[in-house]
């Protein structure tokens, strides 16, 4: 039974529950069976909560009978062990400091509450790098998560545990979040759909504040209908949110199958600013996607926002990123009542925090000012010539930007390790792996990675589409068009529940 149920996406499983063909407990038991069978090869699920999940499945069945169930009633789910905390559950954010203190949260984040209201049943929490800093999932606290397409390779990060679990069929979808590509990176590395919503589309409350500038919450999954339906389930502002995205004109699920019309799409295959070498498999993936989009009636031309090529992106983003690390460590010191020192965290984490602490406040504000002003320059590429955006240019009025998601196919585990005495070396190496994702965390625009290509060795290679701020509807329509034209859900990795 577990293998058969593992073939369904979350929307399909929820339909089986509503039809009475399967019970929530049967779904949860099947997911637990898959996790126990497969996860020892992956190390994706670090905090199982099997007995609580079984109890919640029984309660879900009662609510379903009473007609009080959400859109994903009874569907098993995994939550990434960062930002999305759950009452009574371990919450370690990849930190051995919190692991050793067996830290548990006493309340739900707003997102966790919405997942529960949607009817999802959390069967465990997934592995993540310390504080989600790097694009791989190899924390000292819990060890490396392995890619189900090749266990010698990284599943990406920071949502690598969630992505590996979904790719291997342990659950149909799992929570993920994205501060510099952490939904899109593992989606590309594991052959999944990974949508980063617009800034303010999903709430990071009640605890997150500074991170709301760049972080977006959503899921990794296998199908476009799941991506849209999950966004419907969790979107919308909460009291005190710093940013609020424009409300959709209709449910996001209604965009799947809707005609996007003929769109103007820019193609970018070189790393912005020439700061990385993009490997041929990744270039080919984007070019092939462009040709497929043309067969679907869209106009594709080589173009991109020239502001992406400005040389100051890395320095200013590093200022912002390191300040967030320092803020997190100070926050955990205050919450635990114990001052975190260099020996309590990984060398990279401490180096970034110290970098931020040495930065004068005016310098941090200059970086923030530069990033926000440059956001306007980038956004003008999407604006029609008569919109009033200044300066007007013929190189504007695009609907989408098409790029590779990453500059390389999935890399070997250990690729981003740093030598002793140079803790930032691996971090800078990681930057050359991810040149296409961080800018759109700064601009707040929605972006999606789609599993449209593979290397000759069978490794997944994602392509990224980026829309104007607030236009997830355009992304969903076109991505669903691509899914119908070149289905990807029938290709599964060699390590998985159905292998």
301: number of Cβ within 10 Å: 11
Asked whether the predicted pLDDT for residue 206 surpasses 60, the reply is: yes
Average pLDDT over residues 349-376: 97
**What are the Cα distances from residue 169, in Å, to 221, 289, 413?**
10, 26, 22
Among residues 460, 478, 484, which one has the least CA distance to residue 220?
460
* pLDDT (tens digit per residue) in 240-277: 999 999 999 999 999 999 999 999 999 999 999 998 99
Strands 193-196 and 216-221, by their bridges, are antiparallel
Q: What does CATH list as the number for 2-485?
A: 3.90.1300.10
Catalytic residue numbers?
A: 80, 158, 182
Asked whether the predicted pLDDT for residue 82 surpasses 80, the reply is: yes
Quote the pLDDT of residue 159: 98
Q: Are 400 and 263 in contact (CB under 8 A)?
A: yes
Asked whether the predicted pLDDT for residue 308 surpasses 60, the reply is: yes
User: DSSP secondary-structure letter at 382?
Assistant: G
Whether pTM > 0.85 for this model: the answer is yes
Q: Are 195 and 227 in contact (CB under 8 A)?
A: yes
Quote the pLDDT of residue 498: 75
**What are the Cα distances from residue 228, in Å, to 150, 176, 253, 387, 471?**
29, 15, 5, 29, 13
Average pLDDT over residues 41-49: 98
Quote the pLDDT of residue 388: 64
3-state secondary structure 397-451: CCCEEEEECCCCCCCECCCCCCCCCCCCHHHHHHHHHCCCCCHHHHHCCCEEEEE
Domain ranges of the chain: 2-485
Which residue matches tokens 């590093």? 318
* pLDDT (tens digit per residue) in 124-147: 999 999 999 999 999 999 999 999
When the pLDDT of each residue in the chain is averaged and rounded to a whole number, the result is 95
Coil, helix or strand at residue 336: helix
Could you tell me the pLDDT band of residue 389, with boundaries at 50, 70 and 90?
low
Coil, helix or strand at residue 38: helix
Q: Which residues contact 494 (CB under 8 A, 6 or more apart)?
A: 148, 149
Asked whether the predicted pLDDT for residue 1 surpasses 60, the reply is: no
């Amino acid at each position: 039974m577990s293998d058969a149920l593992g073939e369904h996406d979350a929307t399909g499983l929820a339909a089986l529950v509503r039809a009475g063909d399967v019970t929530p407990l049967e779904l949860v038991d099947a997911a637990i069976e898959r996790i126990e069978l497969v996860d020892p090869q992956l190390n994706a699920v670090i905090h199982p909560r099997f007995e609580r999940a079984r109890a919640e499945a029984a309660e879900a069945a009662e609510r379903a009978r009473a007609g009080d169930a959400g859109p994903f009633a009874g569907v098993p789910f995994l939550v990434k062990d960062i930002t999305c905390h759950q009452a009574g559950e371990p919450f370690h954010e990849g930190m051995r400091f919190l692991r050793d203190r067996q830290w548990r949260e006493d309340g739900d984040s707003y997102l966790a509450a919405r997942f529960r209201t949607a009817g999802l049943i959390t069967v465990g929490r997934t592995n993540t790098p310390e504080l989600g800093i790097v694009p791989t999932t190899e924390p000292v606290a819990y060890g490396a998560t392995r890619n189900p397409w090749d266990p010698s390779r990284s599943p990406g990060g920071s949502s690598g545990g969630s992505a590996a679990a979904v790719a291997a069929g342990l659950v149909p979808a799992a929570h993920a979040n994205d501060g510099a590509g952490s939904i899109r990176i593992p989606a590309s590395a594991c052959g999944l759909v990974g949508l980063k919503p617009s800034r303010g589309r999903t709430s990071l409350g009640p605890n997150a504040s500074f991170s709301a500038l760049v972080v977006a919450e959503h899921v990794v999954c296998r199908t476009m209908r799941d991506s849209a339906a999950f966004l419907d389930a969790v979107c919308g502002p909460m009291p005190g949110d710093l940013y609020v995205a424009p409300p959709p004109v209709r449910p996001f699920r209604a965009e799947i199958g809707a005609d996007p019309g003929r769109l103007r799409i820019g193609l970018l295959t070189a790393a912005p600013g020439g700061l990385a070498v993009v490997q041929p498999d990744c270039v080919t993936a984007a070019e092939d996607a462009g040709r497929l989009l043309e067969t679907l009636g869209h106009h594709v031309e080589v173009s991109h926002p020239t502001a992406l090529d400005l040389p100051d992106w890395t320095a200013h983003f590093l200022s912002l990123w390191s300040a967030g690390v320092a803020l997190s460590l100070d926050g955990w010191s205050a919450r635990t009542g114990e001052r975190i020192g260099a020996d309590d965290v990984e060398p990279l984490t401490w180096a970034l925090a110290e970098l931020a602490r040495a930065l004068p406040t005016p310098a941090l504000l200059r970086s923030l000012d530069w990033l926000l002003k440059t956001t306007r320059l980038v956004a003008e590429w999407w604006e029609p010539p008569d919109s009033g955006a200044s300066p007007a240019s013929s190189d504007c009025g695009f609907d989408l930007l098409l790029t590779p998601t990453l500059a390389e196919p999935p890399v070997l585990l250990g690729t981003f390790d740093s030598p002793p005495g140079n803790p930032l070396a691996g971090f800078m190496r990681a930057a050359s792996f991810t040149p296409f994702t961080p800018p759109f965390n700064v601009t707040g625009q929605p972006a999606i990675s789609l599993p449209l290509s593979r290397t000759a060795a069978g490794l997944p290679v994602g392509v990224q589409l980026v829309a104007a701020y607030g236009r997830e509807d355009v992304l969903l329509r076109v991505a669903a068009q691509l899914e119908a034209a070149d289905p990807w859900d029938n290709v599964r990795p060699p390590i998985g529940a159905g292998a």
